[in-house]
Structure 1
Amino acid sequence: MAGWGKLCRPPNAARPPVRTLPSSTAASGLRQPRHPGGRPPTRPTARSLHRVLIGLAVFALMAAGVVPARAATAITTLHVFLAVGQSNMSGRGLPIDGATDVEDPRIFQFGAKTRTFRAASVPLDMHDAPSGLSPATTMAREYLKTQPADVGVLIIPAAHGDTGFTSAPGTLTWSVGAASAPDYDLPTLAVKQTLSGLAAAKAAGYAVELKGILWHQGESNSSTSTSAYSAKLDQLIAFFRDRLSAPKLPFVLGRMSPEGIAATPGRANVDASHYQTPGRVAYTGFAPSLACALNSGDTTHFSRVGIEYLGRAYLAAYRQAAANTQASAVATPALTVPNCAGRAIAMDPTRFLDTRIWPGRVAAGGSVSFRVAGVRGVPTSVSAVVINLTATSPTSHGVITAYASGTAKPGTSNLNYVAGQTVSNLATVPVGTDGRLTLTNSSSGSVHLIVSVSAYFHAGTPSSPGTFSAVAPARLLDTRKSSGAVSGGSSVSFMAGGKSGIPTNASAVVLNLTATETKSYGFLTAYAAGSSKPSSSTLNYSAGQTVSNLVVVPLGTDGKVTVSNTSSGSAQVIADVEGYYLSGKPVQAGAFGALAPTRFLDTRLSSGAVPAGGSVTFHVRGVKGIPTTVAAVVVNVTATAGKSYGLLTAFASGSSTPKVSSLFYLPGQIVADLAVVPVGPDGNIKIANTSSGSVQIIADVAGYFRG
């Protein structure tokens, strides 16, 4: 079976089945315009003629309104990855639901139980019972973002839960040559499955290239010494490369959960072996895992967030493995015990409520409650969530208040709107003991509400620097009842440290800032008292408007916050606190570091207006006070000079555009909204413009969460 490293489809091979890409729908909360794409053939070959005919057929269907306006792209080449190990590779990320779990038409599998070449399923067809997400699927999705449209991925899913390097009779084992019967010899079974999968894909007409092996295992070898495990692992790597005739085949090792390593004696030995493998064996790489991202009540199996983080880490480690031509010694990092309380986990924005679908309009004075804990990737043990709250189609002006289910409605607001307006705002909301949030509509008319979650905070008493604690929403400032309207060019300061459950040594507070009774257009800027006023805006408003925006503000040394009014007219200012961050330098994953609002993007000064359906990307990792180990940023996004109504969506560069919105704007309107945005593998943030017209975009970063 020599030469499997790259197999070419012969001219007389059967034509591959045409797999087309899904329609490119722009992410939005309210509408999803489609955009044409695809590539014309470059030479008049039989294949290009075939594509032309397909294109003509698709064009005819497009004209009839049957299919989306996007040309079909045939997959002609498959890059093959063998996924081996035990349960986390087999798939334990829960739950299975939501848009992130749909099948990708560019990913195929040659299953472990059903040995046929077919579309990859979610869950993958591993040896054991299907249960959840595998990092191999996420890695494949991320990998394909860097490949031409005619390239797909073939996964060979050969992992099996609760397996390790053993030699007991009748026991599944990864030990080379140690099985008591062929049915238990996992290395040989994986090689046979791989060769059969390659042959099946080639017979189907694809060119195939064996690209790498993804390994996640070690929990079952907790009693093994580092040296003994390393010897078994190195033998396995050599076995795979020899039997697959690929001596330089990249082999990528994923890290076990940090909690499991710390809690289980012996796992640190295996972790050391994994970490040191790139220093022992050429063409290997190590993929780190995320702390505090486990299935509820589990110290071994990653949740959806943990699995997807690991999948992205596999891609980076795969590149490391391909470049690791000569192994060199690597020191093992010190093991730390994760304390998850108050640590944030950013996630791709996920919709949790849309009253247009269920349960219908929220009546005047009415409320709606919905579950967030324990569903759609959010664990059961959470203290608060970050939500984007949108009101649409209101029949009157009003206010929306978000709070923990089962508690009394606070006298604060999260979102203000007028009749017929669509408006959104970010909010950090405590979760009730029943795992639910409640939204109340203080209005004389009904309204539809849409909610997406972009981050959550682990429950418990926070103690580490940069960790978060939610408080019952409380009003810290209302100039209508104190100092009076803040005149144009003036500012107002108020005490936050030591008030409403906020400790005096908090590093920053989370505030919902509202401007009302405004006499002119202008903007507010919130910052630490005693520091220089940043050249950025927190909240933009027009004359006579009531508008809110969430803000994360560092506290001054006196515990105060200052709000400046940049306007030719006065405005009343209201500030409601939602939580705080502990002081100190953030060192753990998920801990928050506050920054003075810093401008990272202003298309008016750089690329120019972002066109309809376009996007803009900017770099955040390792610049302007943000560390290289960053998982997400807190960014205030502003839209201005919009030529049409539309939506902006901020998300991690390299990810698919989420079908949610970060900010809604109207023609000519200046409007801002805060967002918590994961950082892409390239260190970038992307903002997409879902509109029929162009818009200028400004982005000011107010802080970061460590990765």
Structure 2
Amino acid sequence: MAVLPVTSCNAQATNKVAVRTKGSDFTPHTPLRLLDTRNGTGVAKGKVPANWYTSVKVAGQGSIPDNATAVVLNLTVTNTTDSGHIIASGSGKPMPETSSVNYGPGQTVANLVIMPVGSDGRVNLDNIGWGPVDLIADVTGYFTPTASSGYKALSPTRFVDTREGKGAPKGQVAGQRSFGVQITGVGGVPKGATAVSLNVTVTNPREAGHLTVHPSGQATPTASNLNFTTGQTVANSVIVPIGPDGRIIVRNGSWQPTDVVIDVNGYYTPDSNAAYVPPLAIPTRHFDTRKDGKPLAARDYLPLLGQPGVEAYILNTTVTNTTGSGFLSVAPDPNSREEYDNGTATPPARPISSNLNWTTGKTVANLVQAPPAEGGMVAFWNQGWEDTDLIVDFFGHYGTD
């Protein structure tokens, strides 16, 4: 079995301001649209040309301070005419060999990005494709060297499944309707948590549309978290502030009903000292099965070797060259590196939650905040019945040492 190495996760001090850990703490932000090339929000109106870029001003926008070191953005690409991908990077830094959003002609695709900002407070978005695209960026939080909230990982826990009536009324969510989800005091999320990390999945939608997730007690913002087409099953990571009553609101922006599934994989709280530590230089590509010609086998897994003292890895996972439908699960692996080295590792229990869903011929990406087991290991499971290629990009981690 191949093993995915993590070689550049070593924590290092990146700020001169004394904080509780060697990274930056998180502050949630009400969803706010920073960029929309369709109407000129944040930049001049007009599509981003092929093999060109646009820049998003982050620091100083909304309530984001000038000393923000990193940002959480929901990045959406739409009005596409060809295939390609978007690379997000801090301005003034070399463009990494990674991807944040993959798209095909006619698609509208969203993905969450956690990205260090440049010294000018900006993030660059490069369109690596054969045609122009519109780009949308919504912020839901930021990181600073000032003590705020650290991250606490949870084993993926299902909070909502409208197909079963779990966490919400049983039955599809009607078009243009919302429902609330109790977050604090449920499934290990304590009172006082400031934001929650989710994997949100839409399935069985009767028409194209989008979901918007936002704190309770506030009007629905002009922002989206997940876009879908008729009949599509699609997932996206979401980080959203928690309302004062401990709840979040999910709105179906379609005109027709859909089922919604929500898994919680972590939360942010002032009681956690796990701070965001960016890559030592730029985001890096850690594994690509296309390079060695050995795709991730059906119903099999690949382990990722990590390090102690990590609360969660921030990874962008991408599947491509798919020949059937399936889903990817990322879960802690209780084996040790020594057990893999000497051939005594045993397959971990197969997880039941999903991080990424795909259909035949599609290239799909999703951000994963993956908690390792005690020895620092994470397993990537191909839960489909056909082999698929897997790409793993490293965007940092939450460190406690």
Per-residue deviation, residues 372-393 of structure 1 (Å, max 9, x unmatched): 1122211011110000000000
The within-5 A match list for 1:163-242 is: none
| Secondary structure of the corresponding residue to residue 253 of structure 2 | strand
Partner of 2:366: none
Q: Does 1:346 align with 2:346?
A: no
* Cα offset, 1:644, TM superposition: 0.5
Q: Does 1:617 align with 2:176?
A: no
Residue pair 1:589, 1:705 contacting (<8 A) in 2 also: no
| Secondary structure of the corresponding residue to residue 188 of structure 2 | coil
Mapped partners of 2:241, 2:186: distance in 1: 16
Partner of 1:565: none
What is the TM-score with the length of structure 1 in the denominator?
0.34
Partner of 2:98: 412
Residue pair 1:652, 1:686 contacting (<8 A) in 2 also: yes
* Cα offset, 1:459, TM superposition: 3.5
Partner of 1:628: 191
Residue pair 1:344, 1:590 contacting (<8 A) in 2 also: yes
Q: Which has the higher strand share?
A: 2
* Cα offset, 1:339, TM superposition: 5.2
The within-5 A match list for 1:576-587 is: none
- Picking from 124, 127, 134, the partner of 1:438 is 124
Partner of 1:597: 156
* Cα offset, 1:370, TM superposition: 2.3
Partner of 1:656: 219
Mapped partners of 2:127, 2:262: distance in 1: 30
Amino acid in the other structure paired with 1:373: A
Deviates more, 1:654-663 or 1:339-348: 339-348
The within-5 A match list for 1:192-591 is: 342-358=24-40, 359=44, 360-459=46-145, 589-591=148-150
* Cα offset, 1:430, TM superposition: 0.8
Structure possessing the higher radius of gyration over alpha carbons: 1
Residue pair 2:19, 2:145 contacting (<8 A) in 1 also: no
Considering Cα pairs closer than 8 Å and 6+ residues apart, tell me whether 1 or 2 has the greater RCO.
2
Residue pair 1:649, 1:687 contacting (<8 A) in 2 also: yes
Q: Does 1:671 align with 2:230?
A: no
- Two-structure CA RMSD over aligned residues (Å): 1.6
Residue pair 1:639, 1:697 contacting (<8 A) in 2 also: yes
* Cα offset, 1:338, TM superposition: 7.4
Partner of 1:689: 252
Per-residue deviation, residues 57-112 of structure 1 (Å, max 9, x unmatched): xxxxxxxxxxxxxxxxxxxxxxxxxxxxxxxxxxxxxxxxxxxxxxxxxxxxxxxx
Mapped partners of 1:421, 1:408: distance in 2: 28
| Secondary structure of the corresponding residue to residue 118 of structure 2 | coil
Partner of 1:551: none
Residue pair 1:638, 1:672 contacting (<8 A) in 2 also: yes
| Secondary structure of the corresponding residue to residue 382 of structure 1 | coil
Mapped partners of 1:596, 1:431: distance in 2: 29
Partner of 1:269: none
Amino acid in the other structure paired with 2:24: G
| Secondary structure of the corresponding residue to residue 223 of structure 2 | coil
Q: Which has the higher helix share?
A: 1
Q: What is the aligned-residue identity percentage?
A: 41
Counterparts in 2 of 1:364 and 1:450: CA distance versus 1, 3 Å: same
Consecutive unaligned residues in structure 2, runs of 5 or more: 1-17, 271-401
Mapped partners of 1:617, 1:345: distance in 2: 22
Partner of 1:640: 203
Per-residue deviation, residues 27-85 of structure 1 (Å, max 9, x unmatched): xxxxxxxxxxxxxxxxxxxxxxxxxxxxxxxxxxxxxxxxxxxxxxxxxxxxxxxxxxx
Per-residue deviation, residues 459-490 of structure 1 (Å, max 9, x unmatched): 47xxxxxxxxxxxxxxxxxxxxxxxxxxxxxx
| Secondary structure of the corresponding residue to residue 700 of structure 1 | strand
Per-residue deviation, residues 236-295 of structure 1 (Å, max 9, x unmatched): xxxxxxxxxxxxxxxxxxxxxxxxxxxxxxxxxxxxxxxxxxxxxxxxxxxxxxxxxxxx
Residue pair 2:196, 2:240 contacting (<8 A) in 1 also: yes
Mapped partners of 1:682, 1:338: distance in 2: 29
What is the TM-score with the length of structure 2 in the denominator?
0.59
The within-5 A match list for 1:12-91 is: none
Counterparts in 2 of 1:367 and 1:672: CA distance versus 1, 3 Å: same
The number of equivalent residue pairs is 244
* Cα offset, 1:634, TM superposition: 0.3
